[in-house]
Amino acid sequence: MSNLLISPSILSADFAKLGEEVADITTAGADMIHIDVMDGHFVPNITIGPQVVRALRSYSDKPFDVHLMIAPADPYLEAFAQAGADIISIHPEAGPHLHRSLQTITQLGKKAGVVLNPSTHETAIEHVIDCVDLILVMSINPGFGGQTFLPSQLPKIAALRTMIDRSGRKILLEVDGGVTPETARACIDAGADTLVAGTAAFKGGPSAYVANLAALKAAVA
């Protein structure tokens, strides 16, 4: 698939030298940089906030694909937009008014995404699809890297591909969780066009990044 996009997740990077890691994975061929924001409340982990996103912005010219695993999300949308996020994705469960939240992201000049947990049905976004630029399917339970891919999410990806095609809109369909060269093919066959890769992208250190990303793209070529 020549137009496949790879969005390496910095959750699997070396946090002691995060700026350099973002620069290295960009040079290696990343299409976007996936930034997982966790609050220890919506998910059982704590990662980074807007200040770190701002600090990383100068290390890459690629779109920052920011996934907010926080609740409530609304009070922080402007801060992440100002910090340099290009895409801001939120969960339907992270606030009472998904439509309003997506409108806010768009009004901030950013692309709006919706994230579906493994137990969240695809119809959760059916009535807001006209406000969405990206749909992210979690193929693991969010909160930690290194988990095993859940094949149960493949029918959901296929259903969302049908929904997107019917909408006539250009919406990225992204998959995050357990993505490897072995599972990537199934995701693309189901209808995804964007893959988040954590361990598969960053394993082996900077000298391996070019080969890691190439392996993912070769798996679906």
Instruction: Give the Cα separation of 111 and 123 in Å (integer).
Output: 21
CB-CB contact of 184 with 195 (8 Å): yes
Residue 143 is labelled as binding a ligand: yes
146 is in an annotated binding site: yes
Q: CB of 94 within 8 A of CB of 68?
A: yes
Q: Is 207 annotated as a binding residue?
A: no
Is 9 marked as binding a ligand? Answer: yes
- Has 167 been labeled as part of a binding site? no
Is 31 annotated in a binding site? The answer is no
168 marked among binding-site residues: no
Active site residues: 36, 176
Query: Across-strand partners of 173?
Result: 135
Is 113 known as a binding-site position? no
- Tell whether residue 36 is among the known ligand binding residues: yes
- Residue positions forming the annotated binding site for a divalent metal cation: 34, 36, 67, 176
- Residue positions forming the annotated binding site: 9, 34, 36, 67, 143-146, 176-178
- Residue positions forming the annotated binding site for substrate: 9, 67, 143-146, 176-178
